[in-house]
Amino acid sequence: MQNQLQGKLLLATNNPGKLIELRSLLAELPKVELFSPEELNIKLQVDETGVDYAENAVLKARAFALASGMAALADDSGLEVDALEGAPGLFSARYAPQPGATDADRRAYLLKNLAGMDLPWPARFRAVIAVAQPNGIVQVAEGVCEGEIIPEERGTGGFGYDPIFLLQGGDKTMAELSETEKNLVSHRARAVQAAMPVLKNIFGI
């Protein structure tokens, strides 16, 4: 089975921020060639109809594995803010009323919804990674990163909600970390770490 997969892994995301991080997080996998959907000319928009991160990650990984005939790794992730009862959560990528909203619009909308609530605003990023094989087998792994939302933006790195997410026990936002630093502590890094045994098994490493 390992040989059939030919050491190729499709990173099943159209999000440029996730793609950069996943490439770097998976670079330690020897002899596994990483591809983006664009590099394979795969244009696929998967409807995220799952009831949780795992279901959505599985939907994406399965669809891309089927379309490519390769093993595919998908991430579904989000930000959970306690004061908003876990929102935006599963809807983090779509959390803004206006169509065509940007990451900056979503951060502004989140801060607007938190305005007037008592500080601090504890929150966490959660990521679930699904690894699908063309034969239909899918396995999932999860990672969490704790912190809090702050009322003003700090830093220019990362993507999404990073500039307003202060890491627990530190004085930096996620956007003030270098790529290397973020990849040591992030929810996605932890999920990839948890998925490593699965990947190594699939590729016979």
Per CB under 6 A, does 159 bind ligand IMP?
A: yes
DSSP-assigned letter for residue 118:
P
159 and 125 Cβ atoms separated by less than 8 Å: no
Choose among 155, 132, 128, 164: nearest CA to 144. Answer: 128
Q: Which stretch binds ligand IMP (CB under 6 A): 30-38, 77-85, 108-116, 191-199?
A: 77-85
Per CB under 6 A, does 92 bind ligand IMP?
A: yes
Per CB under 6 A, does 93 bind ligand IMP?
A: yes
DSSP-assigned letter for residue 39:
G
Residue 76 catalytic? yes
DSSP, collapsed to helix, strand or coil, labels residue 189 as: helix
DSSP states of 140-157: EEEEEEEEEE-SS---SS
Per CB under 6 A, does 68 bind ligand IMP?
A: no
DSSP, collapsed to helix, strand or coil, labels residue 173 as: strand
DSSP-assigned letter for residue 14:
-
Q: Which stretch binds ligand IMP (CB under 6 A): 26-34, 61-69, 135-143, 152-160?
A: 152-160
CB of 93 to ligand IMP, least distance (A): 3
Member of 68, 173, 183, 186 binding ligand IMP (CB under 6 A): 186
C-beta atoms surrounding 48 within 10 Å: 16
Tell me the residue number closest to ligand IMP, measured at CB: 160
Per CB under 6 A, does 37 bind ligand IMP?
A: no
The footprint of ligand IMP on this chain (CB under 6 A) covers a number of residues equal to: 17
Q: Which spans of this chain sit near ligand IMP (rule: CB under 6 A)?
A: 15, 48, 76-79, 92-93, 125, 158-162, 174, 186, 188
